[in-house]
Amino acid sequence: MSSLSVNAASGSFVLLQVGNRRFALSAANVAELAPPVRLHAFPHESALVIGVIVRRGRIVPVYDVAPILIGRPSGTHRFYLIASRFFDGVPEPSAIPLHGECELANGEVAPAGPGSPSYVSGNLSVADQQIPVLDLEALVTNSAATGARDAAFWSKS
């Protein structure tokens, strides 16, 4: 954990904003919040990946999860959240464009409601709000078709 100094203890979550919606991600997965540095794009065939950024001397893939979460590409964003994905047990930093400030929160996590997208592992109770807790791995491996359906789910909820 670097300059963000997130408490990685269980039960700690980073609240993040994508579009005008708030989501929660386990703080244990989050490394830092980075400024909107230059995105480098090149031809590829991987869904949701829009390019790479360079962060601390490492090349970090950028996932635009906004089409799944809010039904449209992220467009102009303010930060990158750097979180870890694991491939065969090896962590790989991954960047997610965000539209607003992040904050840390602790709270009770209730099971996800019926019909919730597969990448929602529960709902975090914070100040009388129920904030969906994202499963990063399930989110970024979500198919485009599922994404469209899930965007419709969020628009109704």
- Whether residue 69 contacts residue 81, with contact meaning beta carbons closer than 8 Å, is answered with no
Q: Is 138 in the site for other proteins (CB under 8 A)?
A: no
- Whether residue 60 contacts residue 94, with contact meaning beta carbons closer than 8 Å, is answered with yes
**Of the residues 9, 20, 38, 115, which one makes contact with other proteins according to CB under 8 A:** 38
Q: In what order do the strands lie in the sheet with 30-34?
A: 30-34, 79-87, 90-98, 58-63, 49-55
Q: How far is the CB of 152 from other proteins (least distance, A)?
A: 26
Residue 52, H or E segment: strand 49-55
Q: Is 8 in the site for other proteins (CB under 8 A)?
A: no
**Tokens at 37, concatenated:** 């540095």
Using alpha carbons, select from 77, 75, 94 the residue that is nearest to residue 134.
94
Count of all residues that appear for the chain in the document = 157
# of chain residues touching other proteins (CB under 8 A): 38
Q: Is 144 in the site for other proteins (CB under 8 A)?
A: no
Tracing tokens 């997965």 back to the chain, one arrives at: 29
Q: Is 149 in the site for other proteins (CB under 8 A)?
A: no
Cβ proximity to other proteins, 30 vs 154, nearer residue: 30
Residue 151: phi and psi, rounded to 5, are -60, -35
Q: Which stretch binds other proteins (CB under 8 A): 18-26, 34-42, 68-76, 111-119?
A: 34-42
Q: How far is the CB of 143 from other proteins (least distance, A)?
A: 13
Using alpha carbons, select from 1, 28, 33, 31 the residue that is nearest to residue 12.
28
Q: Which stretch binds other proteins (CB under 8 A): 19-27, 51-59, 116-124, 142-150?
A: 51-59
Q: Is 72 in the site for other proteins (CB under 8 A)?
A: no
Contact residues: other proteins, CB under 8 A = 2-5, 32-35, 37-38, 40, 42-46, 49, 52, 54-61, 63, 79, 85, 87, 90, 92, 94, 101-104, 140
